[in-house]
Amino acid sequence: MNELGREFREWVAARKVEGCTATVPDGDHIVIANEGLTGQVNFYAFDDMPEVVELAVTENASGENRFFLHFELEDLERAQQLFGEMASLLEECHDDDGTHVLLCCTVGMTTTMFAGKLTEVASTLSLDYAFEAKALEDAKREGGRYDAVMLAPQVGFRRREIAAAFPDAIVCEIPARIFARYDGAGALRMLMGLLGDDSLSAPDPHDLRALRDARKDAPAKTVLIISVIHRPRGSSIYWRLFDHFKLVASEEVHKPTIELADIEDVIATLHVKDIDLRDIDAVGVAVPGAVDYGTITFSGFELTGVNIERELSGKFGLRVFVDNNANAGAVGCYVSQSEYDSVTLHTQQVGAMVGGQGTVCNGHLLRGRRGMAGELSGLNWQVFLNAERFADMDLGLETHEELMRYYEEEASWSGETMLPMLATMLQANIAVAAPDAIFLSYDLVDDMNALRGELAKSLPDDLIPDLIPITDYHEKIFLGELALVLQRLTTSVA
């Protein structure tokens, strides 16, 4: 345990999470629990690597997982921020006592019986709904906090006065065909529709919203995630093996260039880590470039045109899935939070003229024709390198080739010069996708106020998404690619 690990452990152990009690079974595990949820902070040490911290929250009643992420402990402030997100979930559970529904009729007798039927149906479906029945006049006199008020058909004509008495509740009349038959399931479906509760809806296999708790419905699988990062001055392969969401092995390789043989070597040498390929259920590979059913169709490095899925599956007999790494990172940004339903991740290496943009729009990852969505290397730079933009720079450059060379060798290493170029790329994304938030992984531009000011030159401030810098791009790729692999394994989505 290093000094950073000791400091974070002490900080977590001293943190007061409302409604929860904290226990420390040993130096590598901290448990924070309330009546509904149990949170765990687990530490894993690896030779010559930063400690890995795992944050997990499990429902006590069902055993289902509500929150899971892991990260390398390299920055105390970032670690505290991530823990704060987990603590917020625990506190929300403490404050949330379910959905309260009031049923009203003339004297309360028939609705008491109907409330019992609704309670029975909700319990069978494991829904956190509480039903109460009162006579109409008693309800008006006593008031109370309810999410919905349901009126029996015989008092439905008094809906307006009940709505005035309960201004914060949804007030509806139970249809006679449902009430007279004591159709609890029908009434519950109607109620959930009015409340916008889609818990009983059939899942869309392409919808990523269910993956915000990626472990909730996912099978227990052993998954290898390989992330390929291409840089102007060298590339890398990072890999991690997860066994039922537990990180069991990880490593990285750095080379001037990355070819298919380098990825094959990662898999072929897993036995050095005592890993049996027969135990691996699937492999997820995140790579730069547009990906179309396993083939890199467009990129600026050596794997273009290679069908990675077919090559790796044929050689090792494994189930393999390949995704663009910016897309995987965007999914990681999406599933690691619940505030935004549409997000974009813009990632760019220092020294690169363009980056990559992954976008999740209303819970769906945008891939586009042949996987081209968000692959910014396809941009025609003549759109940006125009005479007006550089008219006052007096660079002494006469040809387009000279200007391009200047950008590749000098300007692309300057945050001041690249700021307006970044803003232009983001403006295009805002115009097409209009995300709620843009997550940014780009070391040259870390001043979000300056970036917002640049965007404000052409966009009203209220149309500019939230701008969120991230320093854990690798973690987002691993989380996102793991979520995409599990989605495919669970729903058979290609």
Kind and range of the H or E run holding 15: none
Label residue 331 by pLDDT band (50, 70, 90). very high
Q: What is the mean pLDDT of residues 104-131?
A: 85
In whole angstroms, how large is the CA radius of gyration of the chain? Answer: 27
Which of 160-174, 195-209, 437-451 is most confident? 437-451
For residues 283 and 312, is the Cβ–Cβ distance under 8 A? Answer: yes
Query: What integer best gives the mean pLDDT of the chain?
Result: 83
Q: Is the pLDDT of residue 211 over 80?
A: no
The pLDDT assigned to 145 comes to: 80
The helix (run of H) or strand (run of E) holding residue 55 is strand 52-59
Separation CA 69–CA 211 (nearest Å): 12
HSE-up (13 A, CA, CB side) for residue 413? 8
Q: Using one digit for the tens of pLDDT, what is the confidence trace for 240-250? A: 999 877 888 98
Amino acid letter, residue 92 = E
pLDDT tops 60 at residue 326: yes
**Is 70 exceeded by the pLDDT of residue 381?**
no
CA 40 – CA 68 distance, rounded (Å): 10
Give the dihedral sign, CA 403/406/412/417. Answer: negative
Angle at 191 between CA 360 and CA 163, to 5 degrees: 110
Residue 355 has pLDDT above 70, yes or no: yes
Asked if pLDDT for residue 4 goes beyond 70, the answer is yes
Q: Does pLDDT of 387 surpass 70?
A: no
Whether the per-residue pLDDT at 134 is higher than 60: the answer is yes
328 pLDDT tier (thresholds 50, 70, 90): very high
Strands 170-173 and 148-151: parallel
Across 256-264, average pLDDT: 87
Q: What is the pLDDT of residues 388-442, one digit of tens each?
A: 454 445 556 666 677 677 777 777 788 888 898 899 899 989 999 999 999 999 9
Q: Is 90 exceeded by the pLDDT of residue 30?
A: yes
Return the pLDDT at 43: 92
Q: Given a cut of 90, is residue 456 above it in pLDDT?
A: yes
Task: Count the neighbouring beta carbons within 10 Å of the beta carbon of residue 9.
Answer: 21
Question: Of 21-30, 70-79, 92-101, 251-260, where does mean pLDDT reach its minimum?
Answer: 92-101
Question: What pLDDT score was predicted for residue 366?
Answer: 92
In 3D space, the residue among 239, 307, 274 whose CA is nearest the CA of residue 481 turns out to be 239
Q: CB of 335 within 8 A of CB of 212?
A: yes
Residue 89 dihedral angles phi and psi, to the nearest 5° = -65, -45
End-to-end CA distance of the chain: 42
Distance CA 350, CA 32 (A): 40
Q: Where are the alpha helices (DSSP H) in 356-436?
A: 400-409, 415-433
What sign for the dihedral angle of Cα 399, 405, 410, 415?
A: positive
Residue 178's pLDDT band, with cuts at 50, 70 and 90, is: confident
Structure tokens at 424: 């232009």
- Looking at the chain, the whole-number percentage of residues with pLDDT higher than 90 is 31
* Average pLDDT estimate for 210-231: 74
Examine the pLDDT at 146 and tell me if it is beyond 90. Answer: no
What ranges in 296-343 are assigned the alpha helix state H?
308-316, 325-335
Average of pLDDT values for 78-84? 87
Residue with tokens 């069902």: 62
Mean pLDDT of 172-193: 85
C-alpha 156/C-alpha 334 separation (Å) is 43
What are the DSSP calls for 237-287, one per residue? EEEEEEETTEEEEEEEEEESS--HHHHHHHHHTGGGGT--GGG--EEEEEE
Q: Which of 73-77, 147-151, 205-209, 342-346 has the lowest mean pLDDT?
A: 205-209
Residue 198 has pLDDT above 80, yes or no: no
Residue 228: the pLDDT is: 92
Per-residue pLDDT averaged across 243-267, rounded?
Answer: 86
Split at pLDDT 50, 70, 90, the class of 181 is confident
Rounded CA separation 176/154 (Å): 9
Quick one: pLDDT at residue 200?
A: 62
CA-CA distance, 134 to 364, in Å (whole number)?
A: 43
Sign of the C-alpha dihedral, residues 150, 154, 156, 161? negative
**Residue 200, C-beta contacts closer than 8 angstroms, at least 6 positions apart:** 125, 189, 192
C-alpha dist (Å) from residue 448 to 45, 416, 483: 34, 13, 29
Q: Taking residues 276-291, what's their average pLDDT?
A: 92
Q: How confident is the model at residue 71 (pLDDT cuts 50, 70, 90)?
A: confident
Buried b (16+ CB within 10 A) or exposed e, 461-477: eeebbebeebebbbbbb
Q: Strands, E, within 17-90: which ranges?
A: 21-26, 29-33, 37-44, 52-59, 65-72
The answer to whether 118 and 187 are in contact (CB under 8 A) is yes
Residue 197: its pLDDT value, please? Answer: 72
pLDDT of residue 199: 63
DSSP lists the bridge partners of residue 110 as none
Average pLDDT of the segment spanning 142-169: 87
Higher pLDDT, 79 or 197: 79
| pLDDT band at residue 493 using 50, 70 and 90 as cut-offs | very low
* pLDDT of 300: 66
Cα 398 off chain centre by = 46
Q: Identify the pLDDT of residue 89.
A: 78
Q: What is the pLDDT of residue 84?
A: 85
Q: Which of these ranges, 36-50, 94-108, 335-349, 389-403, has the smallest mean pLDDT?
A: 389-403
Taking 80 as the threshold, does the pLDDT of residue 41 lie above it?
Answer: yes
The dihedral over CA atoms of 367, 347, 65, 128, expressed in degrees to the nearest 10, equals: -70
